Amino acid sequence: MKKVMFVLVCLLIVSTFAFALESGPSNKVGYVKIQCNANGYTSFGLPFKFWYVPAGNIPTYGQESRKPSSIVGSQANCGSLTGADRVVRQDNGEFALRQTPNCNWTQALETNPADMEPGRAYWYKNNTSSVRNLVLAGEADTTAVGIPTVTIGAPGSPGGIQSTPYSWRDPRDVATNHLNLLAQGFTGGGLTTSDKVLHQISGAFAWYNTSNSTWQGFATITPGIAYWIQNKHSGHTWTYTYNASGAQLAMPGGPASIQKVSAPAVITRRTMTGSAKN
């Protein structure tokens, strides 16, 4: 029954776009739709837990997959090694694509089975002359189990900035003051001296004001969006592990704070318009 429900939702998202906010752990699904501009790069993240999709295109519930073939599937345009759309991991450049003549997924991001992992940021490279929509659908899991620790590098000299690509694997809008950043090494200051969390598409950012002990800028992170965690403090490398248990939630599209969302699902329209790679 779980598998059937998952397939029904996957069929639904072909004609609509929305985002399902769920309490976890559960077998509920969430989905986001990302607009990928023509002939360019669009950044994105992985807000859900994804299941293995075999040749029959029916997800295998309970069998997690970290491969583009299961996460992106046949949505990517098939083509030659240089002409096909591709999915690129931002921090190491690994990529995968559907290559002619058989349109099977190939290259390192696909053949190294754990490399498309949560907590990382990615680009979708649209090699066509038309806008393409990328739909990501998976389990709206809120346990944060299996999210790797990410090293936040430091700039090489005072006054520099080191940007680490990151995306939160959480299907909810989470308040910036509940991302557990300060406890792990994020350093505040003033507008120009504080570390920042920078939205890769819009350029909006959040920072910590030490003069009044408050977070400034955008109030919540958004599922499916890729960010940069910007370290402005030379000699201060730190590691970040997301812990969803301390997350304070905000209803998508509104400022209200909640601690838990129960069934039925709270759904809001959400679309993400991509911009070119910087």
Does residue 70 form part of some domain? yes
Same domain, residue pair 116 and 241: no
Regarding whether 203 and 184 lie in a shared domain, the answer is yes
Clarify whether residues 87 and 110 are in a common domain: yes
**Range 212-216 average pLDDT:** 98
Counting residues of the chain whose pLDDT is more than 90, the rounded percentage is 69
Kindly state whether residues 100 and 116 are assigned to the same domain: yes
In a domain, 78, yes or no: yes
274/78 Cα distance (integer angstroms): 20
- Both 51 and 170 in one domain: the answer is no
- Is 278 within the bounds of a domain? no
Is residue 169 domain-shared with residue 46, that is, in the same domain? no
123 shares a domain with 16: yes
**What local confidence, expressed as pLDDT, does residue 61 receive?**
78
For 146-181, letters b (16+ CB in 10 Å) and e give ebeebebebbeeeeeebbbbbbbbbbbbbbbbbbbb
Say how far apart CA 70 and CA 58 lie, in whole Å: 10
pLDDT in tens, 19-37: 444 334 456 888 999 999 9
- Quick check: is 115 in a domain? yes
Verify that 50 and 34 share a domain, yes or no: yes
- Give the total number of structural domains in the chain: 2
Domain ranges, residue 13: 2-142+266-273
Residue matched to tokens 């070119």: 276
Bond preceding residue 101 cis, omega within 30 of 0 = yes
**Which is it for the CA torsion 177, 178, 183, 186, positive or negative?**
negative
The more confident residue out of 273 and 114 is 114
To the nearest whole percent, how much of the chain has pLDDT over 70?
77
134/157 same-domain check: no
- Asked if residue 240 and residue 137 are part of one domain, the reply reads no
Q: What is the mean pLDDT of residues 78-104?
A: 97
- Alpha carbon distances (Å) from 20 to 25, 61, 117, 233, 250: 14, 18, 21, 38, 13
Q: pLDDT at residue 277 above 80?
A: no
**Pairing outcome for strands 196-199 and 227-231:** antiparallel
168 and 250 share a domain?
yes
219 within domain boundaries: yes
Residue 126 sits in the same domain as residue 60: yes
Dihedral through CA 221, CA 87, CA 136, CA 230, nearest 10? 0
d(CA 126, CA 99): 14
Structure pTM? 0.82
* pLDDT surpasses 60 at 160: yes
**DSSP per residue, 53-73:** --TT---EEEEE--SHHHHTG
Domain membership of residue 210 (yes or no) is yes
- Which residues, other chains included, contact 48 with Cβ-Cβ below 8 Å and sequence gap of 6+? 29, 30, 31, 136, 137, 138, 139, 140, 141, 169, 171, 223
